[in-house]
Amino acid sequence: MRYIPFGSDRREVSEIVLGLMRIGPGKTTANSMSVPEVGYLLDTALDTGINMLDNADIYANGACEEKLGEVFAARPELRQKFFLQTKCGIVKDPDFTYFDFSKEHILKSVDGSLARMKTDHIDSLLLHRPDALMEPEEIAEAFDILKASGKVLNFGLSNCSPMMIERLKKYLPMPIVADQIQLSAAFTPTLDAGFNFNTATDASIMRDGGIIEYCSFNDITIQAWSALQYGFFGGVFLGSEKYPVLNKVIDRIAEEKQVTNTAVALAWILRLPISVQAIIGTTKPQRVRDAAEAASFTLSRKEWYEIYLAAGNILP
């Protein structure tokens, strides 16, 4: 496993992050993982060198945080072995879902997350989806209270543009340490615009404000979510008949390097020369082991570009 310095205290965290969106109840209660099963999943992560967890208050309406809290209650020693990240800001109202970055909501959400996860602090808190009604001064007050109380050690964002981050930075008393964005070998709008700069093609349209370059300039870690998916939760591209050429290339490279196709797909993200992490969302221990292999090798430039082109992209 490889590690990057993260947050204000520059703690070493793994390049692969274990996401916990699926450990709570699924469509049926039969899909819910037991406490021992989640514990074994965490043990497997540690065995492979993964030491960072990603959760959110909205995952299964808080059940994923609750499940993790049950594990920590049963095995308190596990809490100190992980860098714990969670997110807030999405409100699932009975009528519809909306976003809330108000001071009141942030403080209430953090207290709820702490209680559910049976912990006294969150190592990193991200605001989940952009709130057009956010008032930076309120967010700054909330973050300041949480930092001073020791409830949250680091702060970041998810799915936010460079200008959104700049707007917040004007008021925040602490740095933004991370921004979660969707990125995979089959979902590359953050890269396409750069390649096609100054061309009259749809690919040249910059939809993200140059978030990768911005985060690199400002020492903000990019965290890639849906790292193995295409579209907006369209499905996993590995083995998909929609991506025959991409899978052929990835499978060949995997065979050459004697690793899994999962490892190659994630290594493609980690090859970017920035502070970057790939979030995985599996509940299968073997898939955690497969994913961890991504940090054991580095793709060559030729291999990286071959994968990019195999996904259907065109270089000018």
CB half-sphere exposure, 311, CA atoms < 13 A: 24
Report the C-alpha gap between 174 and 185 in whole angstroms.
33
Report the C-alpha gap between 122 and 236 in whole angstroms.
30
Q: Is the dihedral of CA 89, 105, 134, 274 positive or negative?
A: negative
Burial class (CB in 10 A: 0-12, 13-18, 19+), 304: middle
Q: Is 276 helix (H, G, I), strand (E, B) or coil?
A: strand
Quick count: other Cβ atoms within 10 Å of Cβ 64?
Answer: 27
Report the C-alpha gap between 248 and 297 in whole angstroms.
20
Nearest in space to 135 (alpha carbons), one of 101, 95, 180: 101
Report the C-alpha gap between 257 and 307 in whole angstroms.
15
Question: Please, where are the H alpha helices in 7-96?
Answer: 35-48, 63-74
CB neighbour list of residue 77: distance below 8 Å, 6 or more residues apart = none
Catalytic residues, by residue number, are 59
Of all helices (H) and strands (E), which one includes residue 261?
A: helix 261-270
